[in-house]
């Protein structure tokens, strides 16, 4: 049990509100260890009334790993502040995050975590939903779990919204960032827990199965994220923060506020100790 803060569960297996922490202050080793333990257990942590400067946001995030600007062509600036990305969704730039996904599964090792902070939010809409993909695996029928042993999937960034976003240089970027192959069920790098590692936005196909059979199975696996029992939904307010384990959960940014304005600040963290995910 943490001693530096209290946890208020927001979902049955995923999502907890952290109370009693001021992230404007430097995060010491003891606090980070307790937050890390809570993150491993709950997959996503929520904070309220954390009106951080960009510098404070970057300083907190930098304790968790190598910061990156997690676009298709990921980069890591030497100054942590330069890795805090402020982005706006409005009538001109619509949100593309409204599908279940885990960021960067089209890379050999996706990012381990994200810290997202709300700056300006619409009066209605714009929630983010999270689905527990370890619980998703646990809730598969035993026969399906057995069927997934040794099975791998192809992840390709260009099957989703990125294809349109980078359409002017699509062929060049596809050559520079070809599809990758991951186990369908991975052992989480930190907890060792079997975790379903597929998502609708980036998982293209299952390897080693006839096309129709593989497509049907992949659809069934991705649909596990749709189960409300495995989800938590977070309503944003200015100064709210969500910090999530990108490998343990899928997330979905509801685009039900268009054409209203939503401004967020994001930092993303690569693991310093893991360069790929491995199967169970």
d(CA 51, CA 59): 14
pLDDT at res. 176: 83
For 199-213, the pLDDT digits (tens) are 999 999 999 899 999
Q: How many CB atoms lie within 10 A of CB 256?
A: 13
Q: Is 157 exposed, middle or buried (0-12, 13-18, 19+ CB in 10 A)?
A: buried
- Residue 165: the pLDDT is 76
Q: What is the pLDDT of residue 17?
A: 98
pLDDT at 231 over 80: yes
The span from the CA of 196 to the CA of 230, in Å, is 13
Give mean pLDDT, residues 90-117.
Answer: 92
Active site residue 182: no
> Would you state the pLDDT for residue 147?
96
Tell me: the pLDDT tens digits for 59-94? Answer: 999 999 999 888 877 778 888 898 999 999 999 998
Structure tokens at 214: 């593989």
Q: Are strands 16-19 and 44-47 parallel, antiparallel or unpaired?
A: parallel
CA-to-CA separations, 86 to 7, 24, 115, 223, in angstroms, rounded: 28, 18, 12, 31
Give the model's pLDDT for residue 175: 86
Give the pLDDT of residue 37.
97
147-173 pLDDT, tens digit per residue, is 999 999 999 999 877 777 777 888 888
pLDDT, residue 69, reads 83
- The pLDDT value recorded for residue 76 is 86
Is there a contact between 147 and 80 (Cβ–Cβ < 8 Å)? no
Q: Which of 93-97, 255-259, 273-277 is the most confident on average?
A: 255-259
Q: What is the mean pLDDT of residues 250-275?
A: 92
Phi-psi region of 252 (alpha: psi -120 to 50; beta: other; left: phi over 0): beta
Residue 185 pLDDT more than 70? yes
Instruction: Give the separation between CA 126 and CA 117, rounded to whole angstroms.
Output: 13
- What is the helix (H) or strand (E) element at residue 164, kind and residue range? helix 161-165
> Active site residue: 155, 177, 182, 251, which one?
251
155 is catalytic: no
- HSE-CB at 260 with a 13 A cutoff on CA atoms is 12
- Res. 227: pLDDT tops 80: yes
Rg of the chain over CA atoms, in angstroms? 18
Superfamily (CATH H level) for 6-90+109-124+233-248+256-271: Clavaminate synthase-like (3.60.130.10)
E-assigned strands of the chain?
6-9, 16-19, 44-47, 66-68, 85-89, 113-120, 128-132, 152-155, 180-183, 185-187, 194-196, 203-206, 231-234, 241-245, 249-253, 262-270, 278-279
Q: Which residue of the set 57, 70, 103, 155 is catalytic?
A: 103
Is residue 177 among the annotated active site residues? no
Taking all residues of the chain, what is their mean pLDDT, rounded to a whole number?
A: 94
Rounded mean pLDDT of 215-238? 98
Give catalytic status of residue 226 as yes or no.
no
DSSP SS3 for 279: strand
> 66-90 burial string, b = 16+ CB within 10 Å, else e?
ebbbbebeeeeeeebbebbeeeebb
Name the helix (H) or strand (E) containing 32: helix 29-42
* pLDDT of amino acid 224: 98
Marked catalytic residue, from 101, 117, 200, 262: 101
pLDDT on residue 5: 96
End-to-end CA distance of the chain: 28
Domain boundaries, the chain: 6-90+109-124+233-248+256-271
Handedness of CA 188, 194, 198, 199 (dihedral sign): negative
Answer yes or no: is pLDDT of 9 > 70.
Answer: yes
Query: What pLDDT does 78 receive?
Result: 86
pLDDT band of residue 272 (cuts 50, 70, 90) is: low
């Amino acid at each position: 049990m943490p001693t530096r803060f209290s946890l208020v569960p927001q979902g049955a297996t995923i999502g907890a509100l952290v109370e009693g922490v001021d992230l404007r202050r430097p995060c010491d080793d003891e606090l980070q260890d307790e937050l890390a333990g809570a993150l491993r257990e709950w997959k996503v942590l929520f904070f309220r009334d954390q009106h951080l400067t960009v510098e404070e946001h970057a300083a907190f995030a930098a304790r968790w790993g190598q910061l990156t600007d997690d676009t298709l062509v990921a980069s890591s600036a030497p100054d942590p502040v330069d890795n805090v990305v402020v982005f706006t969704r409005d009538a001109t730039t619509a949100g593309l995050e409204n599908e279940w996904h885990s960021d960067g599964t089209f890379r050999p090792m996706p990012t381990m975590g994200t810290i997202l902070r709300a700056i300006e939010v619409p009066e209605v809409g714009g929630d983010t939903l999270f689905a527990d993909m370890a619980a998703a695996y646990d809730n598969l029928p035993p026969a399906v779990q057995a069927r997934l042993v040794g099975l791998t999937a192809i992840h390709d960034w260009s099957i989703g919204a990125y294809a349109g976003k980078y359409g002017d240089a699509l062929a060049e970027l596809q050559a520079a960032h070809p599809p990758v192959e991951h186990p369908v069920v991975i052992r989480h790098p930190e907890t060792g827990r079997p975790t379903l590692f597929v998502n609708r936005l980036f998982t293209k196909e299952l390897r080693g199965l006839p096309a129709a059979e593989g497509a049907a199975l992949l659809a069934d696996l991705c649909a596990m994220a749709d189960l409300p029992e495995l989800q938590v939904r977070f309503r944003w307010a200015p100064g709210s923060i969500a910090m999530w384990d990108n490998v343990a959960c899928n997330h979905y940014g509801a685009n039900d506020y268009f054409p209203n304005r939503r401004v967020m600040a994001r930092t993303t963290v690569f693991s310093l100790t893991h360069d790929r995910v491995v199967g169970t």
